[in-house]
Structure formats: C-alpha cells, structure tokens
Amino acid sequence: MKKIILLVIISFLVVRSEVVSLTVNFSSTKVCLGNETTLINRSVAPGDSIQYVMWDLNGDGKFDDAFTDTVQTTLSYSGSHEIGLKVITYGGEAKALYQLVYVGEVKAGFSFKTGCMYQPIQFVDQSEVIGDAAAGYYWDFGDGTLPVYIQNPTHQFTSAGTFVVKQRVTSLLGCMDSTVQAITIGNEVTVNLSFMGDTVFVKGDSVIAYLTSTYDSVRWSTGATSSSIVIKTGGYYWVRVYVGGCFADKSFRVQVDEYGSDAVIMNLITPNGDGMNDQWKILNLEKIGPCEVNIYNRYGERVFSNPTYDNAWEGTFKGKSLPNDTYFYFVRCYNQDLVQGTVNILK
C-alpha cells in the first residue's frame, strides 16, 4: 500500500508592536512666595518601568536635589525657576526635561502729591505683581470715609492734618501685600478779592481787581501774575492763588454799559505815564459839556478846579503828583444838576 505524506506548512505572521520611547514630564503648583511648591513626576515609559527619578531644583545642571516622584519644596524667590527632571528606566533609557516653575509675589506701593482740603488728590498704584496678575485693590484713606477698590483712586479730604493711607493689593493666586504712607493735607485757601471801582461801569472807564491777602503766587485769567489787574472790557474773569502748594479759585463778572445822557465819570485813574488811564475823564463830556469840576481830598482841601473841564487832569496839585488815595469830585455840567462821587488815584 502506497503511503501518501501530506506536508502542511503553517505560516505564522508575527507582528511586532512598535516600541514607544520614554516621555518625561512633570506638573507643578503655582504658589505665592513662602509657600511650598509641589512637583509631581508625570513621566511614562510604555513597555518598561521607571527605575530612577532625579530632580534639579536649583538649576545648576546637577540632578541631585531630590529622588522621589513627588517633591515639595519652598523656592527662595519670586518669578520663574528653571526646574529639571531626569528619568532612567529599567531598560536603560534616560531622558531629562527642564520647565519653568513660577512663584508669585505682590509688592504693594503707591505715589501721590500732597494736597489741600477739598482738592482732588490722585493716588497712583505702583505695586509690583511678580509671576502673577493683580486681582484686587483696597484703599483706606485714614479719614473715616469708606474704603475704595479701584487701582488708581482720587480722593478729597475735608479737613486738614496728617492721614495714614493704606493700600492692599491681592493677586489671582491670592498673594497679598499692603503698605501705608502718611499724607499731609493743607488748610483750605481763601481768595480775598476786592475792587477799586464798580464792576459795572460805562464804556471807557475801568475797574481794578486786587487781592487783599498775601499769597505765594497768583495767576489771573488774563495771564497776569501780579496782585492786581486793570479791567477795561466786560466779561468773566478769574484768579487762582497758591499757598504752600494749595490753591483756590475765584471768578467774577465785569459789565460795561454804553453811555447815557447823564454824566459818565471815571472813578479811577492810574497816572503813571504808561498812556493808560493817565487822565481823569468825563467820558461823555462832548455830549453834556461844558462842565465845571472841583475835586477835594479827604481833608476838605480843594486840589483841582476848572470851570470848563477838558479831561486833562492827571492827579496833580500845585505841579506835584497827589498820593494814592480816594478823592471827592463835584461836577456841574450844562443844564444838569450837581453830580458828586469819588475818584481813586492809583499809581
């Protein structure tokens, strides 16, 4: 009997899985300065096991500072730290990784300019937030008012004295710092303003606005910096005075009227030779003249007389300039009653 041999060849398909290499990684917590940072090894080694974990916590390139999967350390300064992790597997594969780890810190600080009562004072935040971002502000101005919670507040103090202002800054991480500074608030400044002449006068006349107190410096709306100004035109005017860094303003209005049929007489002359207000004038003299004029000083002595006045008197008596003072005039023009009043001489 013939034997038949059946050869069966069985082919095996061997599929080799791709070897995935070691991946080094770690996580870290973000904390405020003075608190512990937690570092956790998140490395993976598929098909192998991790044998050694080594940390470089001070960035010196040596992995000799810690050797466990989880490390808790207090980093010595705020900002970024370059932390390294090195992992070696049982199979002998080794890899290292450096990452930046952040530590937050807040350094509170602010600036301001010393001011005065009832004047707005701007407080400017100058705090430094390191390795984090600011989340909130708190201000206490030390004067019994409610605190405010904005970055750069403006505040008015209603009394003079020294006040302790507190600022507190908080970051998103919850880092916090506070600081205090003393601010001195000056007394309220008062503008003592008076007028030589009326603030309502006829065209061609004038009024002098002058300060009756002494100030460190003065500024008028006209640009003048003297203690007085001569005003000849109508409108709104103001003056600002300064004392010890504090200031105050005062505004006023001057009104100019057109001539009427009555005598319109200047109440102020400034005979200093500058060509302005050097002569005392009846402003509508050409309309109501001729006019008889007599002027007396405060002692009743007549210092000027003219039966047909020509608007040329320059505040003199017997060829000499009269002193600054108030003088009394008596004017009688053609077909008019006696008009009397005062004229001020100011040189």
Q: Is the pLDDT of residue 96 over 70?
A: yes
Share of the chain above pLDDT 70, in %: 93
> How do residues 226-239 score in pLDDT, each as one tens digit?
999 999 998 999 99
pLDDT at residue number 2: 45
- The span from the CA of 74 to the CA of 31, in Å, is 10
> How do residues 8-35 score in pLDDT, each as one tens digit?
333 333 333 444 689 999 999 999 999 9
In this prediction, residue 3 has a pLDDT band, given cuts at 50, 70 and 90, of very low
Burial of 231 (0-12, 13-18, 19+ CB in 10 A): buried
> How do residues 128-152 score in pLDDT, each as one tens digit?
999 889 999 999 999 999 999 999 9
For the chain, list the domains and their CATH numbers.
Answer: 26-103 (2.60.40.10), 108-185 (2.60.40.10), 193-257 (2.60.40), 268-345 (2.60.40)
In the predicted model, what is the mean pLDDT of the chain? 90
Burial of 227 (0-12, 13-18, 19+ CB in 10 A): middle
- The span from the CA of 64 to the CA of 236, in Å, is 81
In this prediction, residue 288 has a pLDDT band, given cuts at 50, 70 and 90, of confident
What's the pTM?
0.57
3-state DSSP call for residue 244?
coil
Q: Is the pLDDT of residue 5 over 60?
A: no
